[in-house]
Structure 1
């Protein structure tokens, strides 16, 4: 997101705050009272009332008082609210598009988010769910693509992100496998050197799970070097996304990873949970069925990926 440096007056900042608030409010929902907004924005009551009147006169919002029930947002002009909120573009971050599934997901998201609101949408690519979450929370990106497994694992220890969209099973990857550096190995055994990348929530958590009952040596390895380390006999086993594995490495054998659920295969979109304006905007822009259709078309080579 970018912010216009000309918005320096108190009134303009209050208008910006209110616009973001109204983006996150559903139509026909009760809005906060002036007193509630006064405490939230830390602005004078008159300034808040004047700013709200500006949005009403501009046609950005339509409000209706309903007595003791409060005041309700009847409708809003999202494009106007975005302008007053000074939101000029959106940037997401997802894994590097090294597989057809990722190419299709990126293509589908960018296509469906090209919209009549004229908000440019860009996608950045970064390995490691932990790094994607960190950069998003630091404000560099507006949303992040993770597996549902990674998102839920993160939420077990933190409460600063929110899952706002979930795609179908198989939208993030087909399956994880355990790779071995020799054909005669089928299971992880005591004494093995097992590669682990702590930046990858999925890979690290799954590695710790399968290694938990065993006496193995965990070797910290960057995810994109796991295959190389196996081929060089620097590690004995590692968990890997099967979509990435080249069939031209006959010396590496694999076994499907048996899991209790398919959360590792499901793509989700997460945001900073404090960004409710962004939540409503993204839900408005993203058509899940259309994204998944385009992803299937890319995977089946029916259309060329564009991202």
Structure 2
């Protein structure tokens, strides 16, 4: 019985540490009843956990009678010591281009010497990264800004931050056989990887005025299928085409959506204020983008 009580108090301490980490000095503290309802914890366990934080001087609160209780001081280092895991996991695309290599390096540099460790998982396909987020394998994920807009509207995710244009890719383009100029035409077959939301949205955008056949095509088979004629064209990442010198031609896409799809976006589960607060504090956008540019130019070596 005592071991179970210790376990319940431990869970309450982890919850409170995250809660108080996201509160600012001067903020009103939720009531004990509110904290209990959020965690399905007894009043006795919650009050004991609160007293532990106060005794450890992790937090200092003051009661203002009917106005409630307010946070007057916090020691974030001590609060983080109560976490059961000091690792944060982010899922992003495989680093197969200089842009992605630079982005991953920028993340690592941004989280250097912080109180929590960053671990990167490399997963292709925004749907696959979303599934990992929903199953708690990842704390936050990287997508394009275009994909982020879609996911925020249709899924229980929050936008943590949006990076500038040309941080996810330089641009998305239409790839097709060399020597062809009429790359979008009625009756053509266009490949689309439905696991990549931005590719699907951009594909629908470029063919909206044409009668075409859309063929499900895994991302890593697009060039091969264009070469063997099983598809005529597809949306792809210009950076990979140029860096790998693939035997295809590409053409620009005349749409504002391309700009949105070139920005990197960070997403977390809806309501996960702790992760959102941590990432917003630790992910220094200026540092990430400057490191990314240095990796792309060859000034520094990538880390991933």
> Do both proteins adopt the same fold according to a TM-score greater than 0.5, normalized to the shorter chain?
yes
Q: Deviation digits for residues 240-292 of structure 1, max 9, x if unmatched? A: 11011047345x22110112241101101111113211111222222111111
Match of 1:126 in 2: 123
Match of 2:299 in 1: 302
**Alignment equivalent of 1:235, drawn from 210, 231, 242:** 231
Match of 1:183 in 2: 179
What CA distance in whole angstroms lies between the structure 2 residues aligned with 1:132 and 1:116? 25
Secondary structure in structure 2 of the residue aligned to 1:93: strand
Q: Write the mapping of 1:1-307 to structure 2, written as runs, cut at 5 A.
A: 9-117=7-115, 119-158=116-155, 160-246=156-242, 248-250=245-247, 252-261=248-257, 262-307=259-304
Structure 2 spans left out of the alignment, 5+ residues: none
TM-score (ref. length: structure 1) = 0.92
What CA distance in whole angstroms lies between the structure 1 residues aligned with 2:218 and 2:200? 11
What CA distance in whole angstroms lies between the structure 1 residues aligned with 2:187 and 2:282? 51
After superposing on structure 2, the runs of 4+ consecutive aligned residues of structure 1 that deviate more than 4 Å are 5-8
What CA distance in whole angstroms lies between the structure 1 residues aligned with 2:174 and 2:47? 61
Cα drift, residue 182 of structure 1 = 4.1
Secondary structure in structure 2 of the residue aligned to 1:74: strand
What CA distance in whole angstroms lies between the structure 2 residues aligned with 1:186 and 1:72? 66
What CA distance in whole angstroms lies between the structure 2 residues aligned with 1:54 and 1:224? 53
Q: Deviation digits for residues 192-218 of structure 1, max 9, x if unmatched? A: 010000000111111122122221111
What CA distance in whole angstroms lies between the structure 2 residues aligned with 1:219 and 1:60? 57
Change (3 A) 1:41 1:236: same
Structure 1 spans left out of the alignment, 5+ residues: none
What CA distance in whole angstroms lies between the structure 2 residues aligned with 1:7 and 1:129? 41
Cα drift, residue 26 of structure 1 = 2.7
**Greater fraction of residues in helix:** 2
Secondary structure in structure 1 of the residue aligned to 2:211: coil
Change (3 A) 1:167 1:103: same
